[in-house]
């Protein structure tokens, strides 16, 4: 997995070098509102524009995915709640089973033995 990543990094670096070499001429970069201009190499201006584009795109995606992050947080909280409830119920079952095991065999409180048996016709 690391080899393809390194191959991509080397290719990107080579492309950047081949882009920088012919684009070293100076460019005047001025601000319209102010009477200020600075002279920078063309490759630096283009790299800065690409970087700003990546940052703006990242921020846009981050805001667009906000609803899914919120949904994941809510579901995570729900899972934690259900896990706590599951542990509580498991503890209750263990306690009930321990109580049932501690009782003498004739003192079973199950539903089938505690309800009267139905009497058929002709029974006393």
49-102 tens-digit pLDDT: 989 999 999 999 999 999 999 999 999 999 999 999 999 999 999 999 998 888
pLDDT computed for residue 100 by the predictor: 84
Distances (CA, A) of 99 to 12, 76, 104: 70, 35, 10
Burial class (CB in 10 A: 0-12, 13-18, 19+), 3: exposed
pTM of the model: 0.56
Confidence tier at 36 by pLDDT (50, 70, 90): confident
């Amino acid at each position: 997995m690391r080899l393809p990543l390194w191959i991509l990094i080397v290719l990107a670096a080579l492309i950047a070098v081949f882009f920088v070499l012919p684009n070293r001429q100076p460019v005047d970069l001025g601000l319209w509102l102010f009477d200020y201009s600075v002279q920078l190499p063309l490759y630096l201006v283009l790299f800065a524009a690409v970087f700003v584009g990546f940052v703006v795109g990242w921020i846009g995606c981050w805001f667009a995915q906000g609803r899914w992050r919120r949904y994941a947080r809510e579901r995570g909280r729900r899972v934690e709640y259900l896990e706590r409830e599951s542990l509580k119920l498991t503890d209750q079952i263990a306690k009930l089973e321990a109580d049932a095991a501690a009782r003498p065999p004739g003192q079973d409180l199950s539903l089938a033995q505690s309800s009267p048996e139905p009497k058929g016709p002709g029974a006393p």
